[in-house]
Amino acid sequence: MPARPSEFELIERLFVPLATDSGAFGLADDACVLPEDALCDVVATTDGLVEGIHFLAGDPGNLIAKKTLRVNLSDLAAKGAKPFGYLLALSLPERIGMDWLEEFARGLKEDQAAFTVSLLGGDTTATPGPLTLVVTAFGHVPRGQMIRRSGAKPGDGVYVSGTVGDAGAGLEVLTQGATAPRRSSAAPAEPSREARLARAQYLIERYRLPSPRLALGQALRGVATAALDVSDGLVADLGHIAEVSGVRIVLEAERIPLSPALRAFWGASTEAIVRAATAGDDYEIAFTAPSVPAALAAEGGVPVTRIGRVEAGVGVVLTDSGGREIPVPRAGFRHF
Amino acid sequence: MPARPSEFELIERLFVPLATDSGAFGLADDACVLPEDALCDVVATTDGLVEGIHFLAGDPGNLIAKKTLRVNLSDLAAKGAKPFGYLLALSLPERIGMDWLEEFARGLKEDQAAFTVSLLGGDTTATPGPLTLVVTAFGHVPRGQMIRRSGAKPGDGVYVSGTVGDAGAGLEVLTQGATAPRRSSAAPAEPSREARLARAQYLIERYRLPSPRLALGQALRGVATAALDVSDGLVADLGHIAEVSGVRIVLEAERIPLSPALRAFWGASTEAIVRAATAGDDYEIAFTAPSVPAALAAEGGVPVTRIGRVEAGVGVVLTDSGGREIPVPRAGFRHF
């Protein structure tokens, strides 16, 4: 068992410095008081990450910290909320030592600065199982303005931020190696070793370190009729909007934005697009809107691409340039 | 692997019916909106339970559900807050089947009715490890009136609700059997088998099903100078109040309230009192106050016992009837 101080020393050394909000009471209490804003609703969300499921055992502690926080901030982003704080429940296996925990706390500190949030409280327990982290994140949204999943209407356009599929490819690189990717027959000729490594690095980074689209989400208040963050795969997640809104969503495969790295890795065939649209961990925002302001991408700090339309009906379909439906073999990641 | 529906069917069948608050949006969204009360602060707390650490693998699902919820409600109780809702993050091993989950949801439903709270959202994931449950619970407290740990002052009395040590004895019965307890030499003569079983049942129940002292906590607003719920052991937890308040707490061993079942099981020797004062899982409220209103026990629905006093100094000491310090070998439960 690696050297590790007691539970209370650990909290004192690593976590108290992160509890910068006055409502956290320096973690000296059993509970926190959420900061209030008379004009805002408090939006809350919770997401847990389990070693071996959501991250790999060898992933660095600072990146695991950031990923756990960011997947929750991504949920808040898609709801149009501005995050202010979070609670952290840690289940630690014995083998996790102080070095790892210091890395972990450093990652949290960096992201707290990047996203202006404070640790508000938490819980630390031992576990005989895998490292398990649960964050509950909080944000403010002007009263009644949380962007729901339920407002998509026939005639709306369907949009997504950034590019999709990168994280799925990054996970493939991590688990299968970058040098022998499962390639589409339409993939381009093999590039130099340096180019392959750079591409692999980019895709791995996209898997390990999602970018919550907070500025975009806040810019979508009053613009988007429905929104969510893409975590289980674009097609699967848009399926939630279709279901809850009672509409049909038609996606045009050729419009789905793929990064240059992904095109170099998987190619740009229909097969590659289907894989990208069903891969998990993108943490982009997918949304519907009658139209979007020209300045949206600039305000949101990330490109936004129109990828389809909302119609009357049910379900999500992917179509080719001739309007024919492309079969989607696996709709998205499910835990079970 | 037992029969279990998909993640989404599971949520639909078991958890959507529990999301009664409008801010939960029927779990159809990624986030919830916390109900607001213009005169109140929102108090939040999170506590996780891990199979094999906080409960036993064979414990019934409905009791595990209730314990997970109640240990969080107990934190809110000690802060003077009135709970209104909670988020639930579940990490489920494969072997957990639908029957177990239905039991689990039934437990939540019963406790939601008992404590007037709503499921507000959550997260469900698979795990290769033990069943792990994290609840984040929310309550309202009149603005600025959350009872802290930091207000104890020399001259205050120290109080505890109910009785302590029962849950620790219950765990001992569960793990070592009721018929061959580790007995104090001062334990009374062996009672009938029926009496032993009834006593064991009571102690097990106290371990499996804590009673959050919500009415008492709310009655302590403006009365208690510091409070917390006793989860790691009376002496250890009062140590937190002593540390954060910058005071010394002197406990009189003979005043520490033990249940008749515990006295029958462990006896009433000094050794038994020390064990009771260092056993975990009591979930009673320990607090300090200059004095308590005569009606407090009636208002709180549970007896309150004065067990000591606050002095200038540091730490917690247990004293005998002659004022001599009793050594406390193990201050309380620590996860590591």
B213 plus B311 within the same structural domain: yes
Q: Is the pLDDT of residue B32 over 90?
A: yes
Q: Is the pLDDT of residue A181 over 80?
A: no
pLDDT over 70 for what percent of chain B?
A: 93
Q: How distant is the Cα of B157 from the closest Cα of chain A, in angstroms? A: 20
Q: Which domain holds residue B202?
A: 157-326
Helix ranges (DSSP H) in B116-225: 166-176, 193-208, 214-219
In a mutational test of the B interface, the residue from A13, A29, A125, A213 whose CB has the highest number of chain B CBs within 10 Å is A29
* Chain B residues touching A53 at Cβ < 8 A: 125-128
**For residue A44, is pLDDT > 70?**
yes
Same domain for A89 and A112, yes or no, is yes
| A184 within a domain of the structure (yes/no) | yes
pLDDT at A192: 86
With CB atoms and an 8 Å threshold, state whether B50 touches A91.
yes
Q: How many CB pairs under 8 A join A and B?
A: 218
Nearest Cα of chain A lies from the Cα of B251 at a distance, in angstroms, of 22
Instruction: Give the angle subtended at the CA of B206 by the CAs of B330 and B80, to the nearest 5°.
Output: 85
For B240-278, what is each residue's pLDDT tens digit? Answer: 999 999 999 999 999 999 999 999 999 999 999 999 999
Q: Are residues A221 and A311 in the same domain?
A: yes
- B136 with A46: Cβ contact below 8 A: yes
> Is B104 a member of any domain?
yes
Q: Are residues B275 and B136 in the same domain?
A: no
Q: What is the CATH number of the domain that holds B118?
A: 3.30.1330.10
Residues B174 and B241 in one domain: yes
Dist CA A259 CA A239 (whole Å): 23
Contact A125 B50 (CB under 8 A): yes
State the average pLDDT over residues A143-155: 97
Reply yes or no on whether the pLDDT at A1 is more than 50. no
Residue B181 confidence (pLDDT): 47
One domain for residues A116 and A224: no
Judgement on whether residues A214 and A306 belong to the same structural domain of the protein: yes
**Closest by CA position to A60, among listed A100, A115, A109:** A100
ipTM tops the 0.85 cut: yes
Residue B329 has pLDDT above 90, yes or no: no
- DSSP secondary structure of A216-265: HHHHTTTT-SEEEE-SS-HHHHHHHHHHHHT-EEEEEGGGS---HHHHHH
Mean pLDDT of chain A: 92
Question: Is the pLDDT at A327 greater than 80, yes or no?
Answer: yes
Predicted TM-score of the model (pTM): 0.93
CB contact under 8 A, A127 and B132: yes
Q: B185 and B136 in one domain?
A: no
The reply to whether residue B31 touches residue A44, judged by beta carbons under 8 angstroms, is yes
B11, B77: one domain = yes
Q: Please report the sign of the dihedral spanned by the C-alpha atoms of residue A97, residue A100, residue A106, residue A112.
A: negative
Q: A254 vs chain B: nearest CA distance in angstroms?
A: 28
* DSSP 8-state class, residue A23: G
Does B305 lie in the same domain as B172? yes
In a domain, B335, yes or no: no
Among the partner-chain residues A52, A228, A335, the one whose CB lies closest to the CB of B30 is A228
B56-113 pLDDT, tens digit per residue, is: 888 899 999 999 999 999 999 999 999 999 999 999 999 998 999 999 999 999 999 9
**Testing the interface with A: which of B54, B94, B123 to mutate, by most A Cβ within 10 A?**
B123
Reply yes or no on whether the pLDDT at B303 is more than 50: yes
- Determine the Cα–Cα distance for residues A307 and A276; give it in Å rounded to an integer: 13
Domain count, chain B: 2
pLDDT digits (tens, 9 = 90+) for A61-72: 999 999 999 999
Task: Specify whether A188 is located in the same domain as A104.
Answer: no
